[in-house]
Amino acid sequence: VLAGFSTPLPAAADTITVTVSPGCGTIAACIGAASPGDTVFIPAGTYTESATLDKAVSLIGAGASSAIWVAAPNDRILTVTSPMTASTVIANLTFRGGNPGSGLAGGAMRLQADAQPALRRLNFASNTAAVGGAISSYAGLNLADSEFTLNTSTVLTGGAIAAAGSVYVTRTNFYTNFAAADGGALYVAFGAVSILGGTYRQNGANGSGGAMMIFGVDGALVEGVTLESIRPKTAVASPATACCACRTPYWPPILQHPVSVADAGAVSARSSRPPNSSATPPLDLRAGSMPNRP
């Protein structure tokens, strides 16, 4: 249990916990002092800096309401460049005010290469980028129990998140995020998608999908979510997606009950497959239901 540690203590026989203060002084310095497999503990406080996570080191805050990470001026908060799996965890933090500048992606966080940490109990507030106002990822996304508020993509997609690859978003809420193009809260493309639980409220997009845009994916499951007060540019993204359960000419996500949809333009789903494609239909990604891939 990390809570209450005020000095570096062993977390396991071959790993350590490095505490930001008193300790290294900055989050970036603690990352530099840590070795792969270690944990950096971030006590309550406000930290104004930007950092690069270039090794598989977990970042654990004292709590999202008390450990606040604010971007350095005109910069992203965290860039993750090292390959890592869900055994590396980023949790219990708020990321606020990230803005990397004109034309850049991921206002608060960018996941590069094969960076696939587990993101847990995080808040993202008032971050801005050209693409992916809060998070941009080309490595997929493993996210749960988090909240996104007032994030904005100013040029293209994903008011809160723009992600490609296998994307898993669980019990996560999105409030008042906005995209200049598609996917007011969430834009995902080219992978397997599972979106389970969460509330999407007052998100909007100038293009398609006031709450979420799911594009060209191998299969998608949207289950147990609440979509309300969605404000896309038009009520319906396109005639082909007016009914989320329609199968042609596009392949939409599998919407499992209970799903509350308050606006027909809330979800937009497209596939790169041509109409009347003989490809297999989208996959139901729930445990035990994944069919064998051809």
Residue 204: the pLDDT is 87
Q: Above 80 in pLDDT, residue 272? A: no
Separation of alpha carbons 251 and 144, rounded Å: 26
In tens, the pLDDT along 214-230 reads 876 666 788 888 887 66
Q: Above 60 in pLDDT, residue 13? A: no
Separation of alpha carbons 25 and 218, rounded Å: 45
Least confident of 19-23, 112-116, 124-128: 19-23
Specify the higher pLDDT residue, 257 or 227: 227
Q: Above 60 in pLDDT, residue 273? A: no
Percent residues over pLDDT 70 in the chain: 70
| 123-133 average pLDDT score | 96
Task: Give the mean pLDDT of the chain.
Answer: 76
| 28-54 average pLDDT score | 94
Residue 22: the pLDDT is 65
Specify the higher pLDDT residue, 272 or 152: 152
Specify the higher pLDDT residue, 163 or 240: 163
DSSP state string for 86-121: TTSEEEEEEEE-----TT-B-SSEEE-TTB-PEEEE
Q: Above 80 in pLDDT, residue 205? A: yes
In tens, the pLDDT along 67-79 reads 999 999 999 999 9
